[in-house]
Structure 1
Amino acid sequence: MPGNINTPQAYIAQLEPARQVPFLRIWHILQQYIPKGFQEQLSYGMPGFVVPHTLYPAGYHADPKLPLPFASLAAQKNYISLYYMGFMDETVLEWFAQQWEQMTGKQPDIGKCCLRFKKTTPVPDALLAQLAAKLTPEQWIGVYEKGLGR
């Protein structure tokens, strides 16, 4: 990735056109449905949404200078990854997996907090919209702090 990538728009612009289309489809859903309070920015080298320090001064525990990450989207070599930290909440993860399976007939390709979209993955836009809107910044902070044992 070129070193002059410092905004979500620059990240997207450097993608080859065939990868921009599916990437933008998911990115636009996130932009439209992520609740107010999250801030759009390049986070860990990927377009994403964070809880700004104005809402959560403690920042990310691994590096408190960084805002608390929430969701990021990355174009990997063979797939697109949605890093959705809200999956730390088991009820959100279980709800999503069940809904995905009902809508697609398949289980989602999910890692810890990573949902992978391969070329053949059906993307249920309405479900992604519901997922994006599922947690407010305050709810996400609560899930995050619970996970840290605070």
Structure 2
Amino acid sequence: MKYEATSPEDYISQVPEERKDALEKLRKTIKENLPDGFEEGIQYGMIGYFVPLSTYPDGYHCSPNEPLPFMCFASQKNSVNLYHSGIYAIPEIHEWFVNEYPKHSSRKLDMGKSCVRFKKMNDIPYELIGELVKKISVDQWISVYENNVKNRRK
């Protein structure tokens, strides 16, 4: 589902009523654990967390005028999805998350490359997401991003 939101608050105001509390709690969890230097806003039609252009003026290689994306979440048709670039780009974080998930949820992990889908709002493992968010600083994310982009272009 696509929302035409101009702010995170606007985005949450547009989602179905039964998802609002879960999205507000997810947003609060992320903001309380997000390392300094990342900013929050709407990016790609979702609530996003990114490295601002003032910190990383090169921006995102696909669209250099866009801040470097880090993570986001969205209310989709059948689930709330969390997209975390570190899960995709850093094998150790992927392995850690996959191993930790069963300790925080009785449900089977429903995951794509960087997307974790939550179909039941009361099963979102907020504590685990808080731990995940803390794992990468802005400087670490820029370094991982630059190493991956340079390796792809060779």
* Fold agreement, TM-score > 0.5: yes
% identity of equivalent residues: 36
Partner of 1:143: 144
1:2-59 Cα shifts (integer Å, max 9, x gaps): 64x2111111111121111222221111111111100111001111111001111110
Partner of 1:69: 69
Q: 1:78 to 1:2 in 2, by over 3 A?
A: closer
Q: Does 1:82 align with 2:78?
A: no
**3-state SS of the aligned residue for 1:138?**
helix
- The structure in which a higher percent of residues are helix is 2
Give yes or no for contact 2:7–2:41 (8 Å, CA) kept in 1.
yes
Partner of 1:24: 24
Unaligned runs of 5+ in 2: none
Distance 2:75 2:3 in 1: 14
Q: 1:121 to 1:91 in 2, by over 3 A?
A: farther
TM-score, normalisation: structure 2: 0.89
Report the count of equivalent residues: 149
Partner of 2:36: 36
RMSD: 1.7
Distance 2:95 2:108 in 1: 11
Distance 1:144 1:2 in 2: 28
Moved over 3 A (4+): none
